[in-house]
Amino acid sequence: MKKLFLLGLVILLFAACEQKDTRYTQNSPEIDMVKKVIEDYNSKDYNMNVIADTSKTFFNNKKNPMSKTELVAYHKANDANYSKRGFTGEDPEYEMVVTDDGETWVNAWLDWQATLKGSGKVIDMPVHLTYRFADGKIVRQVGMWDPTEVILGLQEIEAEKAMSVDEKTIKSTIDAVVKAWNANDQKTMATLMTDDMVRTANGTVVAKSPAEYGSNLMDVFFTGFPDFKVTLDDYKIIGNKAIINWTCTGTNTGTFQGKSTNKPIKTHGLSIWTIEKDGRASREDAYYDNLTLFQQLGYMPELQ
């Protein structure tokens, strides 16, 4: 009797597992259909044969659905903003779930990347998509992602279009300076500066010529951090001055202040650049927190 009881229990557990497997899977015809939708999106093929004509699509909202026709128009309108865009195929995850109410849903967690046509800025962000199936068709799809970086990028493009000629000259100089920094191109950097260029750091003069800018700054940082990189986070142009917020990163694999720690650094700062009428920079006043930099390198203990 005991053996029969145990055998019955095993059968019940097996049946429960079988039932669970039918409720959740990562391999199904529905998942293959979603993968085809993603593939078609990447190739800009909007025939959408697997989507029902009566389907409803919700992107970053839950009250204003798009019809199938509106969805196609939405994608085509957005495509105009990018020189290229699509899901990268980097670590995608798919699952199919059957709810207690018998509804079949496919969830997808994907990585999406695009290059803005007007600026060349690359945007990379995670996207969650979920699809409900009925009678072999997608009848509902929901997409959620953070559009902030895209919106800000498009706003920057529009702001640049509205710039005066002088503002465009200043912005062009700043972009060239950042590019020269990242390439450690001191020759190009010198052409972007007046002969009497002055650079201060937290109020202290550290360079009084393009040559000193190269030897006292660029040489120092690229010797200590061979992978040194400057990123322009934000900027504002007022008159002939550009106020920029920047981030610097690098790894201390070289010698910096007599040490090589192999530690990464990331520091933020603000610079005020003065640009002359010929587009060359005559002054940079930089402000940043040296304490944070030294703490990241382990030169001093963290403050409590």
Domains of the chain plus CATH, in order, are 25-146 (3.10.450.50), 163-297 (3.10.450.50)
| Total number of residues shown for the chain | 304
213: closest CA among 201, 226, 199? 199
Q: What is the pLDDT of residue 3?
A: 52
Convert 241-255 to b/e letters by CB count within 10 Å (16 or more is b).
ebebebebebebebe
Q: How far apart are CA 231 and CA 268, in angstroms?
A: 9
Residues 285, 272: contact at Cβ < 8 Å?
yes
Q: What is the pLDDT of residue 163?
A: 75
Who has greater pLDDT, 10 or 289?
A: 289
pLDDT at 17 exceeding the cut of 60: no
Mean pLDDT for the stretch of residues 76-99: 95
In the structure, what pLDDT confidence band is assigned to residue 302 with cuts at 50, 70 and 90?
A: low
Q: What is the pLDDT of residue 127?
A: 97
In the structure, what pLDDT confidence band is assigned to residue 301 with cuts at 50, 70 and 90?
A: low
Residues 279, 288: contact at Cβ < 8 Å?
no
Who has greater pLDDT, 7 or 145?
A: 145
Q: What is the pLDDT of residue 299?
A: 84
CA distances from 271 to 21, 37, 176, 196, 200 (A): 59, 46, 15, 18, 9
